[in-house]
Amino acid sequence: MCNYGGSSAQGRQFNVVTSRKSKISFKLPAEGTKGKVRFGRILFAHSYVFSIDKVQLRASPSVTLRNGDNLSLTCFVQFIKGETESFELTTQFAFFKNFKQIYNVSSNSPNATYRLSPARVSSSGQYQCKVHVGQMMKQSGIVTITVTGLSKPKLSVSTNSTKEGQTIIVKCEAPEEEPPFRFTFYKMKNNGNKDMEVLGPIPTSENPASMEVSMAEGDRIVRFLCDVALTSLPNSNVSDLSDWMLVTVEQQFSTPRIEVSPSLNFTEGKEMSVKCSIQTSSSVSGKVQLFIQNGTHILTSSKTDTVWYAQRATESHSGQYICKAEYEQTSKSNSTNVTVTELFKSPSLYSNIRNSTMDEDARLSLSCSVQGISPSSAHNFSLLKDGQIRSNSEKLEIYAKTSDSGTYRCMVTISNITKTSGDLPIRVYAPVSKPLLSHRNQSTSMAVQGSTIELRCKCDKGTPPITYSLMKGSTVLSNITETEAKAAMFKLNISEQQNSGQYRCRAYNLHSSSLGFSNTVNITVISPITEVTLTTIPQSGTVEEGKELSLVCAVKNGSLPIDFHFLVKRGKESVLHSSMDKSVFHSETQIKSFSANDDGSYFCRATNGAHQTVDSNLVHVKAVLATWKKGLIITFVVFILIAAVAICSYFYTERKKKGRETALDMNRTTNEKSSSKEKSAAIGLRSEEESCLVPGNVVQSEDENHVDKSPEGNLGNNKEKPEVEPVTPNPHQDGSEATPREQKTRVMSKCPSEDV
């Protein structure tokens, strides 16, 4: 809905608000202009509104038309306006076919027209129109247009005259129609519709469509036509056939002529000839290739106009004979059937044996016969073995040897016609001799468990094929058939002890009484050694000097007897002891008096008939001191320690005495240099120090007027002077002299401890 407001003011701008809240701006004209404002040819009143009521699409003259008719599609739009309003709007019309836009136009009129002149079948489809006014849009319903009756297409050819084998291009066009198409081409030979050949159809989006056509044998006057259908319309009919185009074809050579003599049906033994000939035109510049073939086999060929084939005919020469001529892309042929009646049937060979096998020294009887003909001097019979004549009669009787084995046939010649029978293979078998079974290690016939051994079985005599069977007891383990005179090799997997036992082989061939058993081979299975361990006694790995060391080597599994070897590594390994045990799985040896020279890494090695050496673990053994030697060493060490303690105590005491004497000497020197007042204070302090001196050392004050310096005067007869640290009196905090009590306290704090 649009709402327009008018105003008497000239040159003012106005806005049109549509029902979708979009705005159209325009201005009134200035003074002196007419009262109409041309903005989409809108006539303004003081106030008006409008909306699109409906849109309708109409087809004229109808929705169903014939190809070539004129079609008009008109789109009508109807607006709703105010009762007193009169104005025009510019409307955008868009036309759609199958939902794709095909035409659009702007108009001030309430309708627009899209014309199809003329309408074609490809114009069929669903049509619709849409109108736009500003931001407003509305569409019509769908109108389905159907155009029937495709126009016949136009046909053209690249040339109107050509030769056999050459190719021309044929084109078919559907004027004013839209793809996709389906074109179909037709070729009519000489006699009209009876020889019409369909070429195609060809689906394509091209217009026109073309195809290459090769002129075949027999083409003289050829007419080409085509029709078309629209694949975009499922129910579209096929057009009428186009006008035909005529093409004349020149013959380069004639169809081959075949002649057979003496006739197409005669009795074998006569000379038969086949002749093939052609006639070529002057336009042929090269040579035409001629063939005579029987079935798929070419008998002869030539590049002349005539080719011959001759042969003394037999019944096998019956069949179809073909004469074919080829030049460039052209090929022509002719054929005929020849029947040759047999003069006599092929002979048959008979024997007195079945299955073509027989025993040596048995009687062999062969006979040859021809059905319907009795033997006579005019008939030549021959018996052949492997292509060589064995007998010049119809019979052969012998006691067969192996050298008589071969392929037999008989041959009959009558009136220069020779025929042979089918092949009869005969195999003469000599019986087998006693087979010999042998093992590679024939002397011991031992086999290691887990290994594979080969047993050889061979007959010195006997006609192959010979079947050999390996047996254990009465059980057949394996069969081998040898087609040549060679031994059978049996591979036996020794997986367990149960494979031990007696083996033999059996041999036979197709001789009726041939069966032989070999000698017996006894196989002993040896289990290899597993898990060898070495144990020492004692087990600690240390042995006191002079004591005995026992070494025990044990095997968990393995066939007896077992060889044991005891070894030691001291840089290089050396054998200490060897032994063989036939009934037990262990062995022992001793070192009677073990010493440091016997230190080393010990191990043992075991082997048996399997010839597989297995080493044990390494055991490290070392000699240690005897107990009495250890006690003596401990006693000596204790004595040394006691002596060392005594010496250290003595030197410590002497050092302490010397320190005290040094202290007394230093104290006396200090007192001599001090003033009398200081001496008095020092004397008082020394009196108080007496309690911290070592007993026996006496220091007297100066008031006693002497100091005992003689050795006799020192208590304890100490010769060294006692150590006394010199004391320097400190002044009092207020500058007065220290009291005797304070001096004593200072001296006591400087006293050496008795522990020093």
Confidence of residue 695 (pLDDT cuts 50, 70, 90): very low
Return the C-alpha torsion angle 621, 627, 633, 636, nearest 10. Answer: 170
What pLDDT, on a 0 to 100 scale, did the predictor assign at position 293?
92
Whole-model pTM: value is 0.41
Confidence of residue 645 (pLDDT cuts 50, 70, 90): confident
User: Above 80 in pLDDT, residue 374?
Assistant: no
What pLDDT, on a 0 to 100 scale, did the predictor assign at position 117?
85
pLDDT digits (tens, 9 = 90+) for 97-151: 989 999 999 988 889 999 988 888 888 889 999 999 888 899 999 999 988 888 8
CB–CB of 250/281 below 8 Å? Answer: yes
Mean pLDDT of 81-92: 74
What b-and-e string marks burial along 624-641, b requiring 16 or more CB atoms within 10 Å of the CB?
eeeeeeeeeeeeeeeeee
SS (H, E, C) 149-198: CCCCCEEEECCCEEECCCEEEEEEECCCCCCCEEEEEEEEECCHHHHEEE
Pick 691 or 497 by higher pLDDT: 497
Percent helix, strand, coil in the chain, to 5, is 15, 45, 40
What pLDDT, on a 0 to 100 scale, did the predictor assign at position 3?
43
**Distance, C-alpha 375 to centroid of its chain:** 73
What pLDDT, on a 0 to 100 scale, did the predictor assign at position 717?
38
**Distance, C-alpha 168 to centroid of its chain:** 52
What pLDDT, on a 0 to 100 scale, did the predictor assign at position 37?
36
Residue whose pair of structure tokens reads 């069969």 in the numeric block: 479
Phi-psi region of 725 (alpha: psi -120 to 50; beta: other; left: phi over 0): beta
Phi-psi region of 608 (alpha: psi -120 to 50; beta: other; left: phi over 0): beta
User: Above 70 in pLDDT, residue 564?
Assistant: yes
What pLDDT, on a 0 to 100 scale, did the predictor assign at position 434?
92
What pLDDT, on a 0 to 100 scale, did the predictor assign at position 574?
81
User: Above 50 in pLDDT, residue 45?
Assistant: no
User: Above 50 in pLDDT, residue 725?
Assistant: no
Running DSSP on this structure, what letter comes out for residue 254? P
Mean pLDDT of 547-565: 88
Pair of tokens at residue 649: 């105590």
Q: Which of 80-94, 329-343, 616-630 has the lowest mean pLDDT?
A: 80-94
Of the ranges 6-15, 42-51, 483-492, 737-746, which is most confident? 483-492
Closest C-alpha among 205, 207, 170 to residue 187: 170
Mean pLDDT of 535-554: 87
Q: What is the mean pLDDT of the chain?
A: 78
Mean pLDDT of 426-443: 84
CB–CB of 38/54 below 8 Å? Answer: no
Pick 649 or 468 by higher pLDDT: 468
pLDDT digits (tens, 9 = 90+) for 331-359: 888 999 999 988 888 899 999 988 888 99
User: Above 70 in pLDDT, residue 740?
Assistant: no
What pLDDT, on a 0 to 100 scale, did the predictor assign at position 82?
67
- Interatomic CA distance for residues 269 and 318, integer angstroms: 13
What pLDDT, on a 0 to 100 scale, did the predictor assign at position 673?
57
User: Above 80 in pLDDT, residue 41?
Assistant: no
Confidence of residue 613 (pLDDT cuts 50, 70, 90): confident
User: Above 70 in pLDDT, residue 686?
Assistant: no
- DSSP line for 657-671: HHHHHHHHHHHHHHH
User: Above 50 in pLDDT, residue 633?
Assistant: yes
pLDDT digits (tens, 9 = 90+) for 140-159: 999 999 888 888 899 999 99
What pLDDT, on a 0 to 100 scale, did the predictor assign at position 257?
92
**Burial classification of residue 480, based on how many CB atoms lie within 10 Å of its CB (0-12 exposed, 13-18 middle, 19 or more buried):** middle
pLDDT digits (tens, 9 = 90+) for 183-242: 999 998 866 556 688 887 788 888 889 999 988 877 888 999 999 888 877 666 788 889
Query: What's phi and psi for 239, nearest 5 deg?
Result: -70, 170
- Residue type at 548 in one-letter notation: E
Helix axes 676-689, 627-673, angle to 10 degrees: 150
**Residues present in the chain in total:** 756
Running DSSP on this structure, what letter comes out for residue 42? B
User: Above 70 in pLDDT, residue 692?
Assistant: no
User: Above 80 in pLDDT, residue 441?
Assistant: no
Mean pLDDT of 56-67: 91
What pLDDT, on a 0 to 100 scale, did the predictor assign at position 671?
60
Confidence of residue 480 (pLDDT cuts 50, 70, 90): very high
